[in-house]
Amino acid sequence: MADQSSAPKPSSSVKLVLLGEAAVGKSSLVLRFVNNDFQENKEPTIGAAFLTQKISLPSRIIKFEIWDTAGQERFASLAPMYYRNAQAALVVYDLTKPTSLIKARHWVAELQRQASPGIVIALVGNKLDLCAESSGDNDSAADSPADAEEGGAEPGEAEPTDNGDARKISTREAKSYAEEEGLLFFETSAKTGTNVADVFSAIANAIPETSLKGSRGAAGGGTQAALSGAANRADEARVNLADRAKQKSDNCAC
Amino acid sequence: MDGNNAKASPSTPPWSEEAERPPLPPRPSELNLMQLTTSTSNASRPPTRAGLVSGATTAVSMADVNSYNRPDGSKELRVTPSRVSSSPSIRAATSNKTSEIGEDNSSIRSYAPFGRYIQDTESIFDGEVQEDQGLSSSFSDGMFEDGPDSFDDEEDVDFDKEFDDPDDKIVGEEMAHNVWKSKRKHFIILSAAGKPIYTRHGSDAVISAYVGIIQTIISSYLDWDDQLRSFRAGGVLFAVLSQSNLFLVGITSLPESEAQLRVQLEALYMQILSTLTLPTLTHLFSVRPSTDLRRPLEGTEVLLSSLADTFTRGSPSTLLSALECLKIRKSHRNVINTTMIRARVDDLLYGLIVAGGRLVSVIRPKKHSLHPGDLQLIFNMIFEAEGIKAGGGDSWVPICLPGFNNTGYLYMYVSFLDMRGDQAREMAENERIAKEDSVAIILLSANKEGFEDLHSMKNYLVHEFRRNQSLRIIHAAVQAGRPAPTDIIAGTVLRHFLYKSKGNVQFFMPSYSPNFETLKQRRRLMSLYHHLHASVHAKHAAVKVHHSVGTSATALAWVTPMFELYCVASPSTSRNALAQSVNKVLQWVQREEERIFIIGGAVF
Ligand SMILES: Nc1nc2c(ncn2[C@@H]2O[C@H](COP(=O)(O)OP(=O)(O)OP(=O)(O)O)[C@@H](O)[C@H]2O)c(=O)[nH]1
Ligand SMILES: [Mg+2]
């Protein structure tokens, strides 16, 4: 699994968080990226899921430590825990759902205010397969061909609209917003795989070399996925369980 | 009793009532028509408690009463106990406390050790009925009042369609209504103000009229300072649970009692608390009585539905309010427990290893216990619903466990282990796993920032479990599945049985195969168990042994302070053969007790 010995390249971990309205396809993007799979009726994420996936750049190997958060409103207050030490964030909206871009803007603003200053943010419009081939001003990213392996995926049979185009958010609108805010921008389909790998490699490339931590030893299994927060917490005065039990009434998840 | 428990903590079940359980919100005392009927129709017991005992699982419906006072003249023998005084607390416990999910999980420990008890009573079927330890025993045999017929009825029902919900838009409104009416079971949750919150079947359009009617009926009782608990109409049982501005309504045409349905409604209520906590729920409605609870509950419909479907299919665990364990050798379990204790991090509250809904190991602090109802919520979330299982990777989930503390959240770390292949490895992310085969490490903490520590604890556990062969052992036990009845007792007449160890709050059952492979066969089996359970838990509770012969099965239920046993055999089975098998089961359970149950669990 963590076979680093065969790779001469240095390896670094990058903590990445996915944020966005419920049901925009965050988990689906991760599932596509990590497992190259797609599920038609994915159930909502509860809390958050932690996954890892490596990608190989010419100069190094990046190991993404991915926090896939739940989009439902009642989990919103937990989000800071996940983006606090993140080096990258994927803010996802649904190309067929206008409210989801508004939500995405909120997340971008919150990240810019509260996350680490150097955080790399990618704005991702998902469910491209539900949109017509060309939406007029598509360029660069959105035109990239789908992953070669995705030949089997049925073309957007999901949202039946008259002309097969359920797009509600134009590429131009989102792209110009992304440029203003200095975000990476992609339109993707977790279903067909279009652009999914590209998002992650663009992020990997955009992380400044200086903020990449050196290779982590694979020794001592426990450190495998150490988040940057771990060290800080170790310094905190430890409270024993009895005290914890008393404190636990803080209603953080609603 | 408490002192006793504390001293005996190594042998105390981890989910017992050892620690003071934070109370669930008070249930208003209520006067129930059904209960009044019960007590008056059964003159042998003073009706004094009828109106006082709220929501006891021993509450019975009319049908159950009839089944007791059989009109067909079948004989019924009741033996008055000669030493009642030796078990007054049992009486109290079973008649008062059973409405909680964690029924019967206290006040048991001080009774005679299991082994002795069996010896005292195992000859019960050989000749005359015995009296033991102040038990009131009675032996009755005869037909279920509606037994064979109602079971055969179910053959006609296409139970497989019970769980399908077609889209209104596709099938049309009329069809949607018909489909809705064809369901054998409904769960509907609405606010006291009449807002629909959840329904298992039917779109808003389909159910809105019914919700209106339900709300009107319920609130008309409230206007009279009364509370509607249940009623029967045309073979359909309606039960209502009123909690914190919520009405939880169960409507069933499956054979089950009001008390059994009520337990299911309580579990749905606990699921809602688990999402919101009680203070939040109360707050939402106190600020705005017309609050639409659907928003804060968004995304948990799947959890409610998977619970509801578990109940509709019939769940031994819910029926018995007990948990099932993975059968492994005691020494193997000890190794796992010890490894867990050694791997423990400061923030850990509970640690569980669970294989497809069956417990493998539990560790917990001395002063905290775990409650079966809480575990049911956890297992439902992890093994029945897809959100976590299909999510891949490790999950970090805020969850309120109402039995533990209904006012705040705990944080649950969940990681699935992939048990396939020779060398068990960590679950490759996002591989789909069958419920029965999936093994999860579940670590609970009160610290919302505890993920990292628990994650490293898991890594250590996986490493150690691999090294000391525990993974291989768990894998083998999962693969082997539950033993068939004939594996347990060669040539037994029993087709299936449920054995509940009350002291351990756990049950054991053999495999459903070869006799109960299909959904329909299982439901019929579960219906039979519900009948038996209702008969021996009826309010008059004098019946401790219940023998029934029907055209589709011969069945027997036997309840003692130590255990509950429910057995099903073919219809032609003689009473003697049944009795012999029952005794063999008891002997087997006694011999295997430390493999099929977790006795005590590990405490830190
Ligand atoms: N057509 C299409 N459907 C998609 C795509 N991505 C996701 N979906 C579907 O959209 C629904 C929601 O996807 P999820 O991945 O669960 O969304 P999420 O953002 O993780 O949702 P939460 O966990 O609730 O925050 C699922 O039914 C997916 O199958 C896509 O690219 N195209
Ligand atoms: Mg998700």
- Return the pLDDT at B197: 92
> What residue numbers bound the domain in which B465 lies?
323-481
Whether B335 and B286 map to the same domain: the answer is: no
> What residue numbers bound the domain in which A146 lies?
2-253
- Return the pLDDT at B13: 52
Instruction: Give the DSSP letter string of B222-264.
Output: HHTT----EEEETTEEEEEEEETTEEEEEEE-SS--HHHHHHH
Q: What is the DSSP letter of B427?
A: P
Contact B310, B380 (CB under 8 A): yes
For chain A, the domain total comes to 1
Q: Does B215 reside within a domain? A: yes
Whether B354 and B428 map to the same domain: the answer is: yes
- Asked if residue B111 has pLDDT above 90, the reply is no
What mean pLDDT, rounded, does chain B reach? 74
Which CATH number is B557's domain given?
A: 3.30.450
Q: Which residues have C-beta within 8 Å of that of residue B134, sequence separation ≥ 6?
A: B81, B82, B83, B84, B85, B86, B87
Asked if residue A103 has its Cβ within 6 Å of ligand 1, the reply is no
- Asked if residue B50 has pLDDT above 80, the reply is no
For B118-140, write each residue's pLDDT tens digit: 333 322 222 222 222 322 333 33
- Return the pLDDT at B134: 29
**Substitution target from A31, A72, A241, A252 for chain B, most B beta carbons within 10 A:** A241
For B195-226, write each residue's pLDDT tens digit: 899 998 888 888 888 888 888 888 888 777 77
Which CATH number is A150's domain given?
A: 3.40.50.300
**How far, in Å, CA of A22 to CA of A39, rounded?**
16
> Which of B259, B285, B313 corresponds to the end of one domain?
B313
- Return the pLDDT at A6: 56
Q: Does B57 reside within a domain? A: no
What is the three-class DSSP state of B364? strand
- Return the pLDDT at B157: 52
Q: Which residues have C-beta within 8 Å of that of residue A177, sequence separation ≥ 6?
A: A105, A123, A183
Q: Does B579 reside within a domain? A: yes
Whether B249 and B344 map to the same domain: the answer is: no
**Substitution target from A37, A248, A250, A252 for chain B, most B beta carbons within 10 A:** A248
Asked if residue A125 has its Cβ within 6 Å of ligand 1, the reply is no
> Which of B313, B342, B374 corresponds to the end of one domain?
B313
Cα A90 to middle of ligand 1, angstroms: 15
Residue with tokens 């404190």, as numbered in its chain: A247
> Cβ–Cβ of B388/A46 closer than 8 Å?
yes
For A137-193, write each residue's pLDDT tens digit: 444 444 444 443 334 444 434 444 456 788 999 999 999 999 999 999 999 999 999
Asked if residue A28 has its Cβ within 6 Å of ligand 1, the reply is yes
Q: What is the DSSP letter of B325?
A: B
Contact list, B280 vs chain A (CB under 8 Å): 251, 254
Q: Does B95 reside within a domain? A: no
**How far, in Å, CA of B500 to CA of A93, rounded?**
51
> Which of B481, B509, B541 corresponds to the end of one domain?
B481
Instruction: Give the DSSP letter string of B510-545.
Output: --STTT--SHHHHHHHHHHHHHHHHHHTSTT----E
Cβ-Cβ contacts under 8 Å between A and B: the total is: 153
Whether B172 and B228 map to the same domain: the answer is: yes
Tokens of B234: 């045309």
Asked if residue A41 has its Cβ within 6 Å of ligand 1, the reply is yes
B20 touches chain A (CB under 8 A): no
Q: Does B36 reside within a domain? A: no
- Asked if residue B20 has pLDDT above 70, the reply is no
Q: Does B5 reside within a domain? A: no
Asked if residue A212 has its Cβ within 6 Å of ligand 1, the reply is no
Find, among B162, B190, B65, the residue nearest to B543 by Cα.
B65
Cα B449 to middle of ligand 2, angstroms: 20
Residue with tokens 């492994």, as numbered in its chain: B328
Residue type, B66: N
**How far, in Å, CA of A92 to CA of A143, rounded?**
18
Q: Does B100 reside within a domain? A: no
Q: Does B361 reside within a domain? A: yes
Whether B469 and B413 map to the same domain: the answer is: yes
**Which residue has the least CA distance to atom 32 on ligand 1?**
A127
Whether B328 and B475 map to the same domain: the answer is: yes
A132 touches chain B (CB under 8 A): no
For chain B, the domain total comes to 3
> Cβ–Cβ of A47/B365 closer than 8 Å?
no
Cα A160 to middle of ligand 1, angstroms: 16
**Which residue has the least CA distance to atom 7 on ligand 1?**
A25
Which CATH number is B391's domain given?
A: 3.30.450.30
Cα B307 to middle of ligand 2, angstroms: 21
Contact list, B388 vs chain A (CB under 8 Å): 46, 49
Cβ-nearest to B409 among A31, A66, A253: A253
B345 touches chain A (CB under 8 A): no
Q: CA B179, B180, B185, B191: dihedral to nearest 10 degrees?
A: 160
Q: What percent of chain B has pLDDT over 90?
A: 45
Compute the nearest-CA separation of A179 from chain B (Å): 32
> Cβ–Cβ of A34/B430 closer than 8 Å?
yes
Whether B354 and B392 map to the same domain: the answer is: yes
**pLDDT tens string for chain A (254 positions)?**
445 555 578 899 999 999 999 999 999 999 999 999 999 988 899 999 999 999 999 889 999 999 999 999 999 999 999 999 999 999 999 999 999 999 999 999 999 999 999 999 999 999 999 998 754 444 444 444 444 333 444 443 444 445 678 899 999 999 999 999 999 999 999 999 999 999 999 999 999 887 776 544 333 333 333 333 333 333 333 333 334 333 434 444 43
> Cβ–Cβ of B392/A75 closer than 8 Å?
no
